Amino acid sequence: MSQDSGVAESSDDHQGSLEEKDFRSPNLDTSGDSKSGEDSSFESGSEAESDNEEAKPEKTNGELGESSTEEASAQVEEWEDKELPTQHYNSESNKIQAHCEHCNAENKHNELVTPRLLSRGQFLLKVDGEGTYQCTETGLIFEVNRKVDIKYCVLSWSKYSDLIEKPWAVGGPLFDVKCDPLCLTSIQFPHSLCLGHRDTNMMFKVFHVKSTGASLEYTVDHSATHVKWRVSSLSPVGPVIQSEETVFHHGAVILYKAIDHNPSLSFRVYVATNNESFIKDISKSVKHSCKKFMKIDKPPVCQKLLQNGKKYRLISEPEAEITPEEIEFVDGSLLKLKSYIEVYLEQPVEFKLLLVEMDSEEIVWKAKLRECDWVQHHQNQNISKSSTSGNRRRKMSSSLPDETVYDKRMKQIDSSDGVKTKALLTDTQLFNLAEKLGKEWLKIAIANLKLNISEIDAIREKEDNVTISKFKMLKKWQEKEQNNATAQNLCNCLKNVDSVEVQDVLRGFLQET
């Protein structure tokens, strides 16, 4: 992590360029991050409790109010350990973790770990010993000093909107973390800002909600992607920022289509900060709408950074009804109601959408929408219901030795004309590819090869050797694809993997076939 001289980054640095008096608020305790007097029993579990209407936290004398004994015990009720079906998680996943060139410049050496998804959007991460671990789903980085189980979930900033006052602004997602605080040394929170344009007049702090109220606590350090905080107690925490200069946000455009029986097309277009709390709020807002919507899967990350106060225009080709045609971007993390742009076309035709910055006329984001983007959704629902028996058969075959299953697949290849029309990949080829996959293999397994978290966890539990785990992951993909486990299909799945070595191996597969 790189430190900036203008950032007050520890409890000893009280003389930074922006002094404590500048952010004093009647709602915020800025006494630092001392463990004394803090109470980790306030564990709101706000998003974890329900997807329904959220209650505002009560305030007493400018602080978050303390509940009665019965209410407090209800608030710290144990999280459910029921694990959700992975299909549900994959369909509702809202994380957008891509960063720009400035943020990718740093070398990360943390061990990537994939958590289990429990009910109500909660994650469970089991670590075996001391070390620094990065969650592949949320970007959180935990530094632990022993074996520990960590539960956490993404919260909404909107319920704490009254406690964050200017010049402070949201800097990234808000989390609720639960574990033995003595085992957890530090947490690094992902932030949604681009620091490639930073200067010395910027300060990060951590917004920390405790039973006695909310406070702003000093950070240890920050990098292009994360803000590091020394754990004092565990309750809702997230990064906030104060800056005298323009703040640049990583942006995302998220699309939803209204589902109805009309031949016309109606879409909601959200322009958001690349902030998981914000994106979760959008998902919840759409879910609770009186209309039914489906999410349109298009690359969401903006090609250009967003700035508060800048105006942006949405353009459709061919022309559509767009309301409003232009918007002024503001970080709406603290707003309960998220603004969106409505796009309406009378006829279901293919069309392009472009988000343009009005001052420069530069394209910030673009996508082409085709009929298959919204029709495929219904077809997949029918297919998933009718293929249950096929899944059962695959599970039975997976109990056979790998060599037997592979031999059977080879016999199924159509070679009636003397030529193998679908040459399946060999174990040697898959092992060669496994050796080239780096630390991102878990993300590749989920995002590119569509494997379930439970399948990956099963592989990792049985195998300590990382390369063998990668090989078995590829074998699992081959098992699912059956006759479609070809070199061309694998190349299509991994075409977006940013690794020269991986792409060279894939090209070699195509040449061999």
Considering the domain architecture, whether residues 279 and 225 belong to the same structural domain is answered as: no
Considering the domain architecture, whether residues 226 and 309 belong to the same structural domain is answered as: no
The reply to whether 401 falls in a domain is: no
Considering the domain architecture, whether residues 225 and 158 belong to the same structural domain is answered as: yes
Q: How far apart are CA 75 and CA 204, in angstroms?
A: 29
Considering the domain architecture, whether residues 332 and 261 belong to the same structural domain is answered as: yes
Q: How many CB atoms lie within 10 A of CB 386?
A: 8
Considering the domain architecture, whether residues 145 and 174 belong to the same structural domain is answered as: yes
Are the C-beta atoms of 149 and 125 separated by less than 8 Å? yes
The reply to whether 343 falls in a domain is: yes
Strands 111-113 and 131-135: parallel
Instruction: For the chain, state the CA radius of gyration.
Output: 25
Considering the domain architecture, whether residues 357 and 265 belong to the same structural domain is answered as: yes
Residue with tokens 């950032």: 7
Q: Within 13 Å and on the Cβ side, how many CA atoms surround 333? A: 28
Q: What is the CATH number of the domain that holds 322?
A: 2.60.40.2660
Burial of 388 (0-12, 13-18, 19+ CB in 10 A): exposed
Residue with tokens 């009254």: 162
The reply to whether 95 falls in a domain is: no
- State residue 97's pLDDT score: 52
Considering the domain architecture, whether residues 201 and 128 belong to the same structural domain is answered as: yes
Q: What is the CATH number of the domain that holds 173?
A: 2.60.220
Considering the domain architecture, whether residues 192 and 261 belong to the same structural domain is answered as: no
Identify which of 97, 454, 159, 135 has the alpha carbon closest to the alpha carbon of residue 284. Answer: 159
Query: Last residue of some domain: 223, 243, 263?
Result: 243
- State residue 210's pLDDT score: 86
Considering the domain architecture, whether residues 457 and 471 belong to the same structural domain is answered as: yes
Predicted TM-score (pTM) of the model is: 0.59
Q: How far apart are CA 137 and CA 124, in angstroms?
A: 11
The reply to whether 385 falls in a domain is: no
Considering the domain architecture, whether residues 237 and 115 belong to the same structural domain is answered as: yes
The reply to whether 454 falls in a domain is: yes
Query: Coil, strand, or helix at residue 144?
Result: strand
User: Dihedral sign, CA of 267, 270, 276, 282?
Assistant: negative
Residues 6+ apart with CB under 8 A from 150: 124, 125, 126, 127, 142, 144, 177, 178, 179, 184
- State residue 428's pLDDT score: 85
Query: Last residue of some domain: 373, 391, 413?
Result: 373
Burial of 443 (0-12, 13-18, 19+ CB in 10 A): middle
Q: What is the CATH number of the domain that holds 497?
A: 1.10.533.10
Q: How many domains does the chain fold into?
A: 3
The reply to whether 386 falls in a domain is: no
Query: Last residue of some domain: 329, 349, 373?
Result: 373
Structural domain of 368: 248-373
The reply to whether 475 falls in a domain is: yes
What is the secondary structure of 349-396 as a DSSP string?
--EEEEEEETTT--EEEEEEE-HHHHHHHHHHHHHHHHTHHHHHHHHH
Considering the domain architecture, whether residues 179 and 252 belong to the same structural domain is answered as: no
Residues 6+ apart with CB under 8 A from 340: 268, 269, 270
Considering the domain architecture, whether residues 471 and 368 belong to the same structural domain is answered as: no
Give the pLDDT of the chain (513 residues) as one tens digit per residue.
544 433 333 333 333 333 333 333 444 555 444 443 333 333 344 444 444 444 344 343 333 333 333 343 333 344 444 455 444 444 444 555 555 666 654 546 788 999 999 888 899 999 989 999 999 999 999 999 999 999 999 999 998 888 988 889 999 999 999 998 889 999 999 998 888 765 556 789 999 998 888 889 999 988 888 999 999 888 899 999 988 788 889 999 999 999 988 889 999 999 999 889 999 999 999 998 888 999 999 999 998 999 988 999 999 999 999 999 899 998 888 888 899 999 999 988 999 999 999 999 999 999 999 988 887 544 444 444 444 444 544 444 444 444 444 444 444 434 334 333 456 888 888 988 988 898 888 889 888 898 888 888 888 877 778 888 888 989 888 988 888 889 888 998 998 888 888 888 888 888 876
The reply to whether 282 falls in a domain is: yes
